[in-house]
Structure 1
Amino acid sequence: MKTVHLDKDLKLFYVEATSFPAGVKEAFLKLEHMLPTRKGRRFFGIYQEREKGITYKAAVLEQFENEAAQYNCAYFLIEKGSYVTESIEDWQTKIECIEETFNALFKVENVHAQSSSIEYYKSLNELVCMVKLND
């Protein structure tokens, strides 16, 4: 595990999965089909447990101001600050490791208890799991 610091907020737009985990792949496919290209894009998954249940957002970093409006999508903000992270190599064959990794991250001292579980798809091979720390 390591700690990374985001110097600025990351403004994403997203497609919400209709269910979790079954609807996750479909949400990413829908998001990807909206974009003219995947090249150079930074994709994220946002998992949240709330009173009304689990939500999952397939998200991409906005490349220009108001890009989300072009695709009729809502925004999600990853706030600047410190995050505890753990990478999973070859993540597509280790899907079960994602939940285990987040469970371990939430046990780290000084973790923000209400943080979303953030997946940063760094490459087709590497997934970075992130949880916000209290600043």
Structure 2
Amino acid sequence: MEKVRIEKNIKVFYVAATSFPEGITEATRKLHSLFPFSQERKIFGLSRPENGGAIVYRAAAEEMEKGESGRLGCETLIVKKGNYVSLTVNNFRKDPMAITKAFEQLLAEPNLDPQGYCVEWYATDKEAVKCMIRLDE
């Protein structure tokens, strides 16, 4: 387990999954159909319990230019700057449950931001994802 610092807020636009976890793949496909691939664009999966406890998942992408989300018809939110506790999952496509296991481990950590998201950061085109939860500071 490691600590990761996000230095500045990241504005993202997203496609919400219709269900969790069944709707994740479709939400991700829809998000990626909205823009061409770019090494510079940060891609995220964001989830947390909302509205009485059901988990809401959002496939999200960093807004690269002002107004991009509006042109694409997407809502936005902010991945907050700050310190995150993190685990990297390699070859996640071969073992999708590894992401769940990583978050189960991270959720056992003390001092988590009660309003924070479980953040999957797909920082490269490699088969690795950084699973992170913001610390309450």
Task: Work out whether the TM-score is over 0.5.
Answer: yes
What is the alpha-carbon root mean square deviation over aligned residues?
Answer: 1.2
Q: Do the aligned residues in 2 keep the contact of 1:105 with 1:131 (CA within 8 Å)?
A: yes
Match of 1:126 among 115, 125, 128: 128
TM-score by length of 2: 0.92
Number of residue pairs matched by the alignment? 134
Question: Which consecutive unaligned segments of at least 5 residues does structure 1 have?
Answer: none
Amino acid in structure 2 at the alignment position of 1:74: E
Rounded Cα–Cα distance in structure 1 between residues aligned with 2:66 and 2:115: 28
Aligned-partner Cα distance in 1 for 2:113–2:59: 22
C-alpha separation between the residues in 2 aligned to 1:74 and 1:9?
Answer: 16
Which residue matches 1:61?
62
TM normalised by structure 1 equals: 0.93
Shift of the alpha carbon at 1:134?
1.2
CA distance in 2, matches of 1:39, 1:132: 26
Runs of 4+ displaced beyond 3 Å? none
Distance verdict in 2 for CA 1:107–1:52, change over 3 Å: closer
The reply on whether 1:107 has 2:104 as its aligned counterpart is no
Distance 2:117 2:38 in 1: 26
Match of 2:82 in 1: 81
In structure 1, what is the Cα distance between the partners aligned to 2:85 and 2:128?
Answer: 16
| d(CA) in 2 for partners of 1:86, 1:112 | 17
- Identity among equivalent positions (%) equals 31
